[in-house]
Structure 1
Amino acid sequence: MHSIHCKSLFLILATIFLASYSFIQEPALYLSDGNYRLKVELIGMKMEIQDRLGTVKVPKDQESGLFLNGHPVISSEVLKSSSKSAKLKVSLSNGAYAQVDLVFKEGRITLNVSPQNDNINTTSIRFGGMPVAYGLGDAGGWNKTFNLVAENEKRFRLINDGARNRWVSSFCIFPKNDFAGVFFSQGKKSVTLSTNSYHQEIEGKGASSFYLFVGKVPELYKHYKNAREDNGYSEVKPKFTLFELGWESWDALGWNTNEETVKGILAKFLKEGYPIKWAVTGSGFWDQGGTTTSFGRWGEKFPEPQSLKNWMGDNDIHWMIGLRTNFIPQGGPYFPKTTKRDKNLKVNSFYGNELSEVGLNKGYFVKDIEGVPFRITSSIFPIVPSYLLDGRNKKAAKWYGALYKKWEVAGIKEDTMMDLDSLIGIFNQPIKNISDDGGLVMARNGAFVSPGTLLRINDSGVGEKNSRIPINYFQFAASGFPNVYSDVAGVHNMHNLAQVSSNIEHAWLLALTAGMAIGAFPEGWPEEARNTFKKLVNFHYQLGPYLYSSAIKAYHSGFPYTLTPLPLAFPGDDKVYQQQRFEWMIGESILAAPLLSEESIEKVAVYLPDGIWYDFESGEKFVGPKLLDNYPHDLNKVPVFIGGKGVIILRKDASQNIAHVYPTSSLPVSYVHHFGENKRDAQINVINKGIGTPKVLGKSGQEIDFHQDNISGKVTFRISPGTDYKVIF
């Protein structure tokens, strides 16, 4: 009996050993950049990524790492390989084959797939699932939650539909896994996510390239910035003016926009001390029902535009107009088939544009597969057939930029509304050219980068302040572009006196982001509510230089400093992924935690990650990680905490920027402030020596005057461009 048991045990152990040996010996290819390792199993081309300790960071797909036209790879032949690159010939389940080129260098894996034919092919790169993912531009912005991963697979189509989805990005970041991915090749793109899958898929002709990044979160964004620049997607340098308070006519005036109505409401705001620096009159001036591509033909609403330009200039306001890239054909009038009209639009027909013939003759419009310029009708505006500028044509983009200059305004709010499906690359260059030439640009359409300083999400309402607006903001930031804008404060709701508090909550959300504008005047509001509204506007004014400096850091690094969702700022803190409230970092030192009405107005729950934090208004000190449950709050309170590097810059007036330096760290801290406008940066170095009474040193090490707060212990002092400061606690 004992012998039988021994034999059985031996057989079991032998079976386990042989199975393990088989698994270990399964043929595989390894590439490494020295910090991470890509393992490619030759059977099925299953791919996984490990860190230097062998821990799996990105799991493999259980069937295959590559599908072509729905067929998985079943085997791979290594044609050439080294420690950092490889060339494979892969065989698919249908008998077809393809060539796969892999390069792993400095945190970036480039994977190029070349099918054996020149047909339209569907190529899908596949990995296993990961718990958290963010990004995908507008496609991710309409998700019900910030986290794009759910138990069931969800396919995100990366399209421009002329409405909800107009800024397109395939970039997806997995901060818990030190991983991100993107692909730029032309064709129909989609990303599929679940707890079991991450698929990048493209339908197009020729070879397709995919990029995979590994590293800590700031490194992932640096790798992504380099990759998109390598693929021709360069971004615009932010302009300070668009971090100032703006005004838009649409919410206040609709199509009743004209010189007198514009001046009337702006004068009212200016009299009350609102620091408006840019104004968009995006509607109401098109000549005979035409569109803004009539270029310089203002129509009866602005018969003497120079008069308004002068008035705006006298009040230090930059005039911006709505602008689209669609051209109504010459001739007309054209009559819409629908009776639907936006707001108080009264035109029943649209006249043509003689410039359309110029664009046609020069070949500047988008063509169909047979080379014929096609006409497309927007379901929103202008609801008649139009040609569409092909911004991929450099000459077309340059022509468009020259025409724009006929308006002689400060900038544009771009708002083309055409359902283009996978045709996503036609907007970047012409709109970017306007920005590069000095124009202020608020962009809506684009791919992978923002063609303007501000990147606008689709039209929104006050009721979305605790759902779609912050989710869309966060996905844009996660996609690498945090200078967000949605709509004016209290949009379409400012005259609803029953929802004044809701409008204020909405306005706080805007005040703590890059782009803030107002529209309708808070007519009839209680005095306390009007004072709160003015206070939050003033805080955005104070915050302007700090927001701009953060945007410049984002421009240089790729990291979304202007608006950093907590999971990207603190990826190692599991609790930040569990929070239901929307909180984010502004720059390196401010945590924004506005009340967005899911809680009572008197009490909120705020999560503070690891570190020392100070309530901005009260100066009360907290040590994180800590959940402040039922924390006292009201709408008149600035809803931010100071931590991180503990250095913020607030504007006192047009000529004074004040540094607020908090004792948040026992380690040395260095903060660089970008002034912009050809001014030299300032640097603030903070050292904690425990000396009791702080010192602030300026040029040549000389002590300078400062004020110390009795509660928080922060010091405040005026800073100037080109000066280095040292603060000693």
Structure 2
Amino acid sequence: MKKSVYHRWRVLFVTVALLIFFWGCGQESDISTRQTDEAVIISTENYSVEIQKEGFRYGFKQADGSEIAKPHPVSGLQISRSGEQLSNIESTKFIGNSKDQVSLLVTNTEGLEAVVTMWTLPNAVKLQVEPKEEGSYNIAARTRGLSPSYGLGDHAAFGGGERDRGVRASTDLTGIEMDPMRGYRMISNFVVFPKQGFAEVNIEPGDKIVRLNEQENVQGSRNVHSMPAMYYFIGLPKEIYQSFLDVRNKEGYPVYKPKYEWFGVGWEAFGALAWNTNSETVTQNIKEYLDLGFPLEWMVVGSGFWPRARDEMDEHGTPYNAETDSEEAKKLLATTSFGMWDEQLYPNPKEMIDNFHSLGLKFTIGLRTGFIPGGPFTNEGLENDYYIKDEAGEPKLFSVGFPESEVYIVDAENPDAVNWYVNLCQKWEDYGVDGYKEDLFGYPQTLPDDFVNPINEALMDKGVYVMGRNNYLGSPVDIHRYNDFNYNQPQDRGPINGLAYAYSGFPYVYPDIVGGTGLATGRFGDEPKEKLRIYLMRYAQYAALNPSMSFGYGPWNFDQETTQISLEAAMLHDRLQPYIYSNAVKAYESGFPHPMTPLPLAYPDDENVHGLADTTRRSYQWLIGESLLATPLYGDDYATAKTRDVYLPEGRWIEYNSGQVHEGPATLEDYPLPIGKDPLFVGGKGIVVEDIEGSLKARIYPITDQAEDIFYGPDGKSESRITIASPDWENLTVIDQSTGKEIAGSWNRHAYEFNLNLGHDYVID
């Protein structure tokens, strides 16, 4: 892959930072290296790595000698020149070692030589492979196969690939093989094996190799000069994710602290109105939601706000027809007409946005990095070499999903291009736009997977609100959006997609618009209305337990029950928003996916949790923080199913609605989950903070006698520590540690509830 000057400087900066980082980590680790005629053994206080010189076959063990990942039986590395079949390593020679690294020379069966360097961290090993000769190579690193495995971002949700709309049968990745792995949306090749206390990622924005089966566990790169950053992580899940977070930040794929409002209830214009958006329709639709009591906090106008040719529009304001539209209309069609609104459809955008602000909503719009030839700002980009180039060094035109005309795409490896683009965004922000739904799609998979990352990072650095669609490995956005999730697609994809995001280090999950994008457009055809309304209600109850949720098509278009169930789902999410966001801040601090924790990460030694999330059982469950268990009824059987087998891990669990108590581990067979019942249990620490009528309420459930939790406020900084210290549940006392005074509380909805003063600490005894 051709790299810009910016990229090389960025790599140099990151390399220096990593050297400092690894040196510092090495200072804290007790590392020893020894070699025999047959092997090199690296030992730390947490794990050991043994490399058999024949074949460079390496494996990992716990400090007590128990096996984590066994060596591949033939060769731990494979190397070839690009275009040739991968060749096994034949021999290994020890070069030398220092305090925290070991260097070896390997030779494959064709005589190619490469230097392998391994760095040791407290809970990770970094593997670097540098062929000795210049050129382009294919490189793969492998151990013996492990199972089960989880992760892989969006790739994990699709069985046969996006184009045939297949869906994988399980969150377990065993059997998946991708060569190359490249290109859709929220991309991560991080894979975690929680039963073994093991994880891995080969940091490579280009063509990757992934094979996960019973025989081998492979990650690799194609058409590269080297494999600079293959990481293995060892430890408990929380240790693994903390180390993964550190690595992402150090390797140039940072994780950002998200903003509070995105974790509330939102609204998207395309789901509500399709192309028929203008000041009047948008304002009226929002008003209908607010009048019904929906607690909206953010909104997206993702279509139709840009200028259009008047004679090219139909009665709905549809802006584009590829066969009949004038060239002038096509030039303006896009979200890159910065600061330009259709003057008839949006005659006073600032007044409109100010009105939404007065109602407490954050106003965001759709945004893409593709520029149409002849568009209002396109030539400026051409004149300054701000677009991705072809092999001849000329600006390249790409076919994408929208618009239909070809586009130039901003070269995010060029810092001047990134600054130019972000400065253009200011034209929107001058009207009061708060942020963006980043939305380029249908792009060719020849682009590097991180081609949008630097732009989203720059926008987040600026403080604007960003919903992400495209990304590699990092988290430079506030919420992670599914690709369009619609009625006419496999409904099991949604839960599997969300859990895969969480495993992959993308825990700020947004499961797309309740009802999808087809109800307003009519793309679902003449489907039975009864099934569509059940779809909307079940989707709302599923989305309510995700970190973020939004509405589009008005539930009032069905009946009163649909409206009421949708409203109740929105109100549940709204009550839980402070608790969900607090756990999002914890994810930012620790890397662990607290807002949506798949059960295998919370209970890795419990054999029962590893087979829940599949298309047969459909026990799509996760923890929200360490006190709530989400058990939504969703999947392809949403229209007919009334029950689920719900698994409760070890400990006491209380039904959120009824207060009924259960003791785990236990499976509640055919547990009733009728429409209208919140699919939620309280357990774990039993500490939840809710927003009740505008006030923060700490809610303490009689789950355990010893627990402590930290609650982060909406500013992401203020915190309160809540401690349960062997209380008398019949006669509870709450002491405000910050004042030393006892404060009043009462039992409400199966929990002891008191007002939480943000920044104060509390002890319950």
What TM-score comes out, normalization by structure 2 length?
Answer: 0.85
Amino acid at match of 2:739: S
Once the 2 structures are TM-superposed, how far is the Cα of residue 524 of structure 1 from its aligned partner?
4.4
Query: Residues 606 and 439 (structure 1 numbering): CA distance in 2 closer, same or farther, change over 3 Å?
Result: same
Partners in 1 of 2:673 and 2:354 — Cα distance? 44
Q: How many Å apart are 1:622 and its aligned residue?
A: 1.2
Q: Cα gap change, 1:140/1:632 in structure 2, threshold over 3 Å: closer, same or farther?
A: closer
Q: 5 Å matches for 1:131-530?
A: 131-143=147-159, 144-150=168-174, 152=175, 154-155=177-178, 157-160=180-183, 165-209=184-228, 210-287=230-307, 288-289=329-330, 290-299=333-342, 300-330=344-374, 353-378=375-400, 380-408=401-429, 409-417=433-441, 418-462=443-487, 466-491=491-516, 492-493=518-519, 497-499=529-531, 500-530=533-563
Do 2:536 and 2:562's aligned partners in 1 also have CA atoms closer than 8 Å?
Answer: no
Which residue identity lines up with residue 203 of structure 2 in the other structure? Answer: F
Aligned-partner SS, 2:222:
strand
Identity of aligned residues (%): 31
Name the CA shift for 1:324/1:691 in 2 (closer, same or farther; >3 Å). Answer: closer
Offset from partner CA, 1:657-689 (integer Å, 9 cap, x none): 1111112223x2111110032762111100125
Counterpart AA for 2:397: R
**Residue 703 of structure 2 is aligned to residue 664 of structure 1:** yes
Can you list the C-alpha shifts for 1:537-586, whole angstroms capped at 9, x where unaligned?
10011011111101000001000001111111111110001223100001
**Closer, same or farther: CA 149–156 of 1 in aligned 2, 3 Å:** farther
Structure 1: any 5+ residue segments left out of the alignment? 1-23, 331-352
- 8 A Cα contact 1:118 1:205, kept in partner: no
* CA-CA distance at 1:114 after TM superposition: 0.7
Q: Secondary structure at the match of 2:396?
A: coil
- Aligned equivalents of 1:251 and 1:691: distance in 2? 47
Structure 1 equivalent of residue 63 of structure 2 = 52
Once the two structures are superposed, what CA deviation does each residue of 1:385-432 show, in whole Å capped at 9, x if it has no partner?
A: 211001122221111111001012111111112113351222112122
Residue 233 of structure 1: how far off its partner (Å): 1.1
Q: Residues of 1 paired with 2:449 and 2:642: CA distance?
A: 46
For 1:636 and 1:440, the matched residues in 2 are separated by 32
CA drift at 1:727? 0.9
Q: How much has 1:256 moved relative to structure 2?
A: 1.2
1:107 to partner: Cα distance:
1.3
Task: Give the Cα separation in 2 of the matches to 1:26 and 1:503.
Answer: 66
Q: Secondary structure at the match of 1:195?
A: coil
Which residue does the alignment assign to 1:568? 601
> Which residue of the other structure, out of 664, 667, 677, is the alignment partner of 1:627?
667
Contact 2:513 2:549 in 1 (8 A): yes
* Partner of residue 47 from structure 2, selected from 36, 45, 54: 36
Distance in 2 of aligned mates of 1:315 and 1:694? 40
Between 692-701 and 512-521, the greater mean CA deviation after superposition: 692-701
Tell me the residue number matched to 2:129: 113
Alpha-carbon distance between aligned partners in 1 of 2:72 and 2:447, rounded to the nearest angstrom: 27
1:549 aligns with 2:549: no
- When the two chains are superposed, the root-mean-square deviation of aligned CA atoms in Å is 2.0
The 8 Å contact of residues 492 and 634 in structure 2, kept in 1 or not, is answered as no
Task: Check 1:633–1:377 CA distance in 2 against 1; reply closer, same or farther (3 A cut).
Answer: closer
Deviation at 1:465, TM superposition (A): 7.2
After superposition, residues 699-718 of structure 1 pair within 5 angstroms as 699-708=738-747, 712=750, 714-718=751-755
1:725 aligns with 2:762: yes
- The number of residue pairs the alignment matches comes to 673
Match of 2:732 among 690, 694, 700: 694
**Residue 46 and residue 159 in structure 1: after superposition, are their counterparts in 2 closer, same or farther (change >3 A)?**
same
In structure 2, distance between residues paired with 1:32 and 1:400 = 49
Shift of 1:245: 1.0
SS in 2 for 1:530: helix
Residue 97 of structure 1 is matched in structure 2 by 113
Distance 1:658 1:128, change over 3 A: same
For the 8 Å contact 2:579–2:690, the answer to whether it is kept is yes
Contact preservation (8 Å) 1:462, 1:506: no
Is contact 1:589-1:648 (8 Å) kept?
A: yes
Q: Bigger shift: 183-192 or 278-287?
A: 183-192
CA–CA distance in structure 1, aligned partners of residues 67 and 276 of structure 2: 60
Q: Which SS does the other structure have where 1:89 is aligned?
A: strand
- Alpha carbons 2:511, 2:546 under 8 Å: kept: no
> In 2, distance between residues paired with 1:197 and 1:179?
15
**Are the aligned partners of 2:689 and 2:698 in contact in 1 as well (CA < 8 Å)?**
yes
Tell me the equivalent position of 1:6. Answer: none
- AA partner of residue 484 (structure 2): D
User: C-alpha offsets along residues 203-252 of structure 1, whole Å, 9 cap, x if unaligned?
Assistant: 13322121111011011111111111111111221101111111111122
Report the AA paired with residue 40 of structure 1.
I
Identify if the C-alpha distance between structure 1 residues 395 and 563 changes in structure 2 by more than 3 Å, giving closer, same or farther. same
Which AA in structure 1 matches 2:365? Answer: I
- What amino acid sits opposite 2:302 in the alignment? G
**Could you say which residue in structure 1 is the equivalent of 2:24?**
none
What secondary structure, in the 3-state scheme, does the structure 1 residue paired with 2:572 have? helix
| Largest Rg, 1 or 2 | 1
For 2:299 and 2:61, locate their aligned partners in 1 and report how far apart those are by CA, in whole Å: 51
Secondary structure of residue in 1 paired with 2:336: helix
